[in-house]
A and B are shown apart, each in its own frame.
Chain A
């Protein structure tokens, strides 16, 4: 199977076999072709050459509905529902005519069917008559799951769905996957979380640069081995920081005092020092993301203050001027302008650096952009290339480059390695370590406890908007200690 996007070959001759009654994991770095392959199987797009067989018969779905008629359904990585319409309407998108008498839609029947679909996957708490925007992202994901499961798929494709879900939602998906297997049906499971893959999959296919690298069966699963296959080189043992030296400069660079937010933050106090990596962890709704936004002046605060060198920060331009850089956890919607060129994104906070008398110099802009691309080894065709064409990891590097190029001394990274493959992840960790050595102060907000323990000089655990505990860097610190404070 071959698929090309412009000059990028996403898939080059992949052979893939899925057997009945198995959960097959699909792993690979960002841009290795996982989503491309599965979306072809599910009828979202077509391949340029190659063929597919379903139960021995040639199979080439022209669109998603044809795929669903053949009992192949996919839950996509991105948001696949439309915000402005009702929940039930979303579920039966494209088949509303089945619920119509003449041109009138039978709402009651629609809601009943939607409810049934939810019950089928064991969800009873969602009111199908509400507008889709009124439910949270997790429930929207479940809506997609319910919608996909309606066709009783023989092949269910789960593309990084679990990362968006809490434990509860994950259990629902795991349950469905088990049921598929019990009914002698199949699942293709994509995830970046190797522990999860190892736990739920029977077999594993590794992709790299659009080529199949190998198949592994359950007894052969071993984290290091899989990682090596994914990146094609040895990943060294010191994935995180190797040292346990939590020392840093004495100078306080940022002070948060009695901060109360509109949503969750309650009386947060903390100090950030020069050369310190401050990890902030907790459950997703604990207020840590809001705290990160507050540090860059994105959200309005009710009371309290954040100061940098005595200057108060309440607007984003004050934050940027005070030397703060911020990479949002929603990289694609908040940190980057995907339609714009890489150069546009990288230079926009630092335009005065490449301007004389307020006019941007094209030559200096080009040079500056290339410097940043080289410094972070961003894989791209050049500064003019559209940012949306990059893989997740490289997009994240662009978001980093914005602030590193500007020379921001305080860097707030909210989930910097989310949806980033192991290769780029390791590079990010080295980068964060180097930044620390150069005296930058770093706030690392993360939902991955391993990452916090592995990288931080000091970890703050938040719960319900308050600081619940504080831990200094140590080799004894375990995830267990942190989880206890989180819940």
Chain B
């Protein structure tokens, strides 16, 4: 495209916003590729990287509309634990794995419907609803483990890497369609961009926003199913730290934390890949696993700092 005109400051900033995360991803691949002498590209390791990014990428894609509304979600870790619990419980009780996926999805939708009603219906700060949900779900899981235990399950084909990979692509694509090409996605972006203007579009905002929450819950449920396939059982540490992974991935991917029209599905996808590559690269290069937690914390800090610079005037924390 012939673009001879000069770009204004804001346009430049927007280009930076779009391409910085991609450049970050390329940089991470290049650095660890060279450092590890190409070992991170070995067949088995690629599988590991995808498996590590899997849950975060799927959950981040599912929750993108909530982030577009200007919300931030602290509950996915807890919800994954609760979905794991109900999923494993139904498998143990019926002796069959047929009901695991539906059970996970229903539990996810239920949890996010509650958060959605608190946030959308009661018009509360999204922080409150999701933090309560985090404590609520963790609380339930811990109490249940006080009185009984569960046996492992085997989810068969869901453990096949190609099947997992195909499902991940399909789910992310569905999220992309919903985010960009439906009223629900547009309403979410509009709401995050400008609440008053969104109200004056004449869309049933509350309904659409609530659907966006419930959709997010369904995707968390599906992500839990694949998580269970890999982990095989539920424990009190199921889904631990997943909320921080998702938030970090979003920020790394360049998500506008105030929500609005500059949010995108690609943010969570790119961000989760960067995290996974970083952590995996460090391990492959011989850095102790314990250190990777510290690195994650550091990345989070740097990313937030950069987001602040990029979003001058936009609050980092949700409204």
Question: Is the CB–CB distance between B181 and A360 below 8 Å?
Answer: yes
Question: Is the CB–CB distance between B200 and A335 below 8 Å?
Answer: yes
Task: Decide: A349 near B201, CB < 8 A? Known: A340-B193, A359-B181.
Answer: yes
Question: Is the CB–CB distance between A321 and B202 below 8 Å?
Answer: yes
Residues of A within 8 A of B262 (CB): 339
Question: Is the CB–CB distance between B203 and A344 below 8 Å?
Answer: no
Interchain residue pairs with CB less than 8 A apart (11): A6-B6, A7-B5, A316-B199, A316-B202, A316-B203, A320-B203, A340-B261, A349-B201, A355-B182, A355-B183, A402-B201
- 1/0 per residue, CB under 8 A from A, across B61-75: the answer is 000000000000000
Residues of B within 8 A of A334 (CB): 194, 196-197, 200
On B, residues with C-beta under 8 Å from A are: 5-8, 11, 177, 180-183, 186, 189-190, 193-194, 196-205, 260-262
With A5-B8, A349-B201 already in contact, 18 other A-B pairs whose C-beta atoms are closer than 8 Å: A298-B199, A298-B200, A317-B205, A326-B200, A333-B197, A334-B196, A336-B197, A337-B194, A337-B197, A339-B260, A340-B190, A340-B261, A349-B202, A351-B182, A351-B186, A355-B183, A358-B183, A402-B201
Question: Is the CB–CB distance between B186 and A335 below 8 Å?
Answer: no
Residues of B within 8 A of A336 (CB): 197
Question: Is the CB–CB distance between B11 and A319 below 8 Å?
Answer: no
Residues of A within 8 A of B181 (CB): 355, 359-360, 362
A:283-297 near B, CB below 8 Å? 296
Question: Is the CB–CB distance between B194 and A317 below 8 Å?
Answer: no
Once the chains are docked, how many angstroms separate the CA of A324 from the CA of B202?
Answer: 9
By Cβ-Cβ distance, the 10 closest A-B pairs, closest first, are A320-B202, A7-B5, A317-B204, A340-B261, A6-B8, A360-B181, A337-B193, A334-B196, A348-B201, A351-B183
* CB of A10 to closest CB in B, whole Å: 11
Whether A4 sits at the interface, judged by CB under 8 Å, is: yes
Residue of A nearest to B182 (CB): A358
* CB of A413 to closest CB in B, whole Å: 13
Once the chains are docked, how many angstroms separate the CA of A121 from the CA of B196?
Answer: 35
Once the chains are docked, how many angstroms separate the CA of A339 from the CA of B14?
Answer: 11
Residues of A within 8 A of B204 (CB): 315, 317
Residue of B nearest to A362 (CB): B181
Task: Decide: A320 near B201, CB < 8 A? Known: A359-B177, A359-B182, A360-B181.
Answer: yes
Question: Is the CB–CB distance between A328 and B6 below 8 Å?
Answer: no
Residue of B nearest to A381 (CB): B5
A:5-46 near B, CB below 8 Å? 5-7
On A, residues with C-beta under 8 Å from B are: 4-7, 296, 298, 315-317, 319-321, 324, 326, 328, 333-341, 344, 348-349, 351-352, 355, 358-360, 362, 402
Once the chains are docked, how many angstroms separate the CA of A326 from the CA of B199?
Answer: 11
Residues of B within 8 A of A317 (CB): 202-205
* CB of B187 to closest CB in A, whole Å: 8
Question: Is the CB–CB distance between A348 and B193 below 8 Å?
Answer: no
Once the chains are docked, how many angstroms separate the CA of A243 from the CA of B204?
Answer: 41
Question: Is the CB–CB distance between B182 and A337 below 8 Å?
Answer: no
Residues of A within 8 A of B200 (CB): 296, 298, 316, 326, 328, 334-335
The A interface is mostly helix, strand or loop, or mixed, namely mixed
* CB of B68 to closest CB in A, whole Å: 12
Residues of A within 8 A of B260 (CB): 337, 339-340
Once the chains are docked, how many angstroms separate the CA of A47 from the CA of B260?
Answer: 32
Question: Is the CB–CB distance between B182 and A348 below 8 Å?
Answer: no
Partner of B197, one of A321, A335, A359: A335
Residue of A nearest to B4 (CB): A7
Residue of A nearest to B202 (CB): A320
Residue of B nearest to A322 (CB): B202
Residues of A within 8 A of B7 (CB): 6
* CB of B180 to closest CB in A, whole Å: 8
Once the chains are docked, how many angstroms separate the CA of A402 from the CA of B11?
Answer: 25
Once the chains are docked, how many angstroms separate the CA of A340 from the CA of B177?
Answer: 18
Question: Is the CB–CB distance between B193 and A339 below 8 Å?
Answer: yes
Residues of A within 8 A of B198 (CB): 337
Question: Is the CB–CB distance between B194 and A333 below 8 Å?
Answer: yes
Once the chains are docked, how many angstroms separate the CA of A137 from the CA of B21?
Answer: 41
Task: Decide: A319 near B202, CB < 8 A? Known: A339-B261, A344-B261, A348-B186.
Answer: yes
Once the chains are docked, how many angstroms separate the CA of A333 from the CA of B193?
Answer: 10
Question: Is the CB–CB distance between B261 and A337 below 8 Å?
Answer: yes
* CB of A250 to closest CB in B, whole Å: 27
Residues of A within 8 A of B189 (CB): 340
Once the chains are docked, how many angstroms separate the CA of A308 from the CA of B196?
Answer: 23
* CB of B91 to closest CB in A, whole Å: 34
Question: Is the CB–CB distance between B203 and A348 below 8 Å?
Answer: yes
* CB of A470 to closest CB in B, whole Å: 28
Residues of B within 8 A of A321 (CB): 202
Residue of B nearest to A319 (CB): B202
* CB of B43 to closest CB in A, whole Å: 37
Once the chains are docked, how many angstroms separate the CA of A336 from the CA of B193?
Answer: 10
Once the chains are docked, how many angstroms separate the CA of A352 from the CA of B204?
Answer: 13
Once the chains are docked, how many angstroms separate the CA of A320 from the CA of B202?
Answer: 5
Question: Is the CB–CB distance between B190 and A348 below 8 Å?
Answer: yes
Once the chains are docked, how many angstroms separate the CA of A358 from the CA of B183?
Answer: 8
* CB of A33 to closest CB in B, whole Å: 16
Once the chains are docked, how many angstroms separate the CA of A338 from the CA of B183?
Answer: 19
* CB of A340 to closest CB in B, whole Å: 4
* CB of A409 to closest CB in B, whole Å: 14
Once the chains are docked, how many angstroms separate the CA of A341 from the CA of B182?
Answer: 16
Once the chains are docked, how many angstroms separate the CA of A5 from the CA of B180?
Answer: 29
Once the chains are docked, how many angstroms separate the CA of A429 from the CA of B6?
Answer: 36
* CB of A86 to closest CB in B, whole Å: 20
Residues of B within 8 A of A320 (CB): 201-203
Residues of B within 8 A of A352 (CB): 183
Task: Decide: A6 near B203, CB < 8 A? Known: A333-B196, A339-B261, A358-B183.
Answer: no
Residues of B within 8 A of A358 (CB): 182-183
Once the chains are docked, how many angstroms separate the CA of A459 from the CA of B130?
Answer: 51
Once the chains are docked, how many angstroms separate the CA of A321 from the CA of B5?
Answer: 43
Residues of A within 8 A of B183 (CB): 351-352, 355, 358
Residues of A within 8 A of B8 (CB): 5-6
Once the chains are docked, how many angstroms separate the CA of A109 from the CA of B8?
Answer: 42
* CB of B38 to closest CB in A, whole Å: 40
Once the chains are docked, how many angstroms separate the CA of A338 from the CA of B260?
Answer: 11
Once the chains are docked, how many angstroms separate the CA of A333 from the CA of B200?
Answer: 11
Residues of B within 8 A of A349 (CB): 201-203
Residue of A nearest to B200 (CB): A334
* CB of A7 to closest CB in B, whole Å: 4
Once the chains are docked, how many angstroms separate the CA of A317 from the CA of B203?
Answer: 5
Once the chains are docked, how many angstroms separate the CA of A466 from the CA of B34?
Answer: 77
Residue of A nearest to B256 (CB): A339
